[in-house]
Amino acid sequence: MTENAPSPDQKLALVTGASRGLGAALAEALGARGWHVIAVARTAGGLEELDDRIRAAGGSATLAPLDVTDPGAMTHLGRSLRERWGGLDLWAHTAIHAAALTPAGHVDQKDWTRSLATNVTAVAQLIAVVEPLLRARRGTALFPDDPRGGQPFFGTYGASKAAQIALVRSWQAEGAKLGPRVAIETPPAMPTALRARFFPGEDRMALIHPREVARGMLAAVLGG
């Protein structure tokens, strides 16, 4: 990890899938709130650009160029976070694999396998890693929903995202009394690279920028 150490009284947020889109916007918004952001993504270049923006706004971040589908890397990340800082105040998970749209009868098996690995299996593994960190600080987990299940040609993406949210809802119910708190928010349409794969011809100017969406989501979940 490339570390910029937080101050002792700073709140800590882990953002997985932080290099672009909503994840990057959430990381920037948290930095602007004075939080220290641990930013995780596969692309080091995207994380470095994010770090520049967070610092330019007066915030601080620790960069972790890791793949969320690597169980060993995620276990090591969790151990490092516990040893360095003891816990987390927020985990925002936006890492996603957006499989190409295709009829259900023509699903690409490599895309199917990667979608399940990224959108479902990695989340199950991360919950096990992050849950004790959130409980240590009475923290919150935040997941964006994108309900596409049952829509034509969205079989792979819709099924894997629906499975992810079903798992998260179970975790949410299990932690109702003892924590951690789990929030699920459905953001409006944004001009992200993910959406461009699904709707390449739409008017992106009519969509809501991820920065605005991120601020609204954090206000709803964290207040302020």
pLDDT at 52: 96
CB count in 10 Å sphere of residue 38:
26
CB count in 10 Å sphere of residue 224:
6
160 contacts: CB under 8 Å, gap ≥ 6? 97, 99, 115, 116, 118, 119, 120
- In whole angstroms, what is the distance from residue 123 CA to residue 102 CA? 24
- Which position has the token pair 């959430």? 26
pLDDT along the chain (224 residues), means of 10: 69 97 97 97 95 94 97 97 97 96 96 97 98 97 96 97 98 95 97 92 94 97 88
CB count in 10 Å sphere of residue 205:
6
pLDDT at 1: 66
pTM (2 d.p.): 0.95
| Secondary structure (H, E, C), the chain | CECCCCCCCCCEEEEECCCCHHHHHHHHHHHHCCCEEEEEECCHHHHHHHHHHHHHCCCEEEEEECCCCCHHHHHHHHHHHHHHHCCCCEEEECCCCCCCCECHHHCCHHHHHHHHHHHHHHHHHHHHHHHHHHHHCCCEEEEECCCCCCCCCEHHHHHHHHHHHHHHHHHHHHCCCCCCEEEEECCCCCCCHHHHHHCCCCCHHHCCCHHHHHHHHHHHHHCC
pLDDT at 8: 67
Q: Which two tokens stand for residue 60?
A: 């601080």
CATH number of 12-222: 3.40.50.720
Of 55, 3, 43, 1, the C-alpha closest to 19 is 43
- In whole angstroms, what is the distance from residue 134 CA to residue 130 CA? 6
Give the residue extent of every domain in the chain. 12-222
- In whole angstroms, what is the distance from residue 27 CA to residue 17 CA? 10
pLDDT at 224: 72
